[in-house]
Every structure is written in structure tokens, then in C-alpha cells.
Amino acid sequence: MAESSEKLYPNCNSSVWLRSCDVEVTEPLHGKITGKMPTWLRGSLLRNGPGSLKVGSMRFEHLFDSSALVHRFSILDGAVTYQCRFVRTNTFKRNRAANRIVVTEFGTKAVPDPCHTIFDRVASIFKPAELSDNTMISLYPFGDEIYSFTEGPFIHRIDPKTLDTLERKDMMKCVAVVNHTSHPHVMPNGEYGVLLRD
């Protein structure tokens, strides 16, 4: 994977994208400042994206399958701090509990549970496929709340200071959609428009 991406993007170090976060930074980590940061500059930047490409000894096959990781860069009084936390999705919790990939993602097929019986396999024919709720694509504010998004019907509310996962919402229960975009559009009046797909 790394070799083929280097051929397509010769000036891009693919190891940056293919690294895997193993440890969260829950307490703000103070950055080393070179030069001087203006004291009037203050605020926080929240980012969401690929976090961990590994579960136990298994590795995801695609960057988009990586466990969602939220980053927080905070600037205050000439100092900068950093934090990162995994979004506690159902997919993340199930994979971690099993110590292997148990939910199929965009480019990675789940490994079936070796303990399942023939009756479980037959019963699974009558249950719809489970969708991943790995919201690793974007973050958007709704009022004073921050949500992580993916190209699926689930969003997660994130605490903007601690980065704790506070709540999971299934958009299929509020809007008659099966899927929505992970990039909603903010209208000039502050309302949000979500591009819906058939």
C-alpha cells in the first residue's frame, strides 16, 4: 500500500498517513514554543480523522477504516496544548472487546466469530447487515454542541474540552434517510443543510 501511494504521490510521505495511534492524550500536553506566540491569539482547533489502523494483531486494509480519533489544539496566553481521544463508537468498543476487527468497514471485511454456530449463521440471513458507526471523517457544530460524522446514519456528540464521547445519534430515527453526507453545509442564516443521497 505504501509503495503504490509513493508512485502516485512522490512528494508525500505515506508513513504519516499510515501511522497508528496507540495511546490517547487525555490531559493537555504543553507544546514547546519556538519564537513568541501573540498573547491575544486564543481558541481551540478540533480535528477528526484516522486514529488507529490496528486492532489486536489485525490491521485495517484502508485508511478510511481506521478508528476515529479527535484532536484538540488549544491556544491561550501564549501557550499551546494538545489532546487526542478515540471516539467511543459501538464499532470501536466491539473491536476492542474482541481484540480483532468484528465490524466490516469501507475496505476491510470483518473476521467472523469462530464461536458462532450454524444456527447463528442461518439467523443472520434474516437480520440486516450491521453498519459501522465509525465517525472518523469530520466534526461539525450544532448550536453549542460538536458532532463527529461519517458517510452513514450515525453521529456522535463530543465534549469540546475533554473530547469524551457523550452521545450517539441514529439519524434514521429523526430523518427519513438511510445515509447522509459527512460534510453538511452551513447556510448563511446559521441553519444546516445536509446533502441527502438516494
Local structure of residue 99 (DSSP, 8 states): T
Determine whether the annotation assigns residue 116 to a binding site. Answer: no
Q: Fill in the amino acid letter for 93.
A: K
Q: How far apart are CA 135 and CA 67, in angstroms?
A: 8
Q: How far apart are CA 155 and CA 40, in angstroms?
A: 34
Question: Any bridge partners for residue 45, and if so which?
Answer: 73
Q: How far apart are CA 186 and CA 191, in angstroms?
A: 6
Closest CA to 144 of 104, 190, 180: 190
Distance of CA 103 to the CA centre of its chain: 15
Alpha helices in the chain (DSSP H): 2-8, 14-17, 90-98, 118-124
Query: CB burial class (10 A; 0-12, 13-18, 19+) of residue 148?
Result: buried
Instruction: Name the binding residues.
Output: 183
Instruction: Name the binding residues for Fe cation.
Output: 183
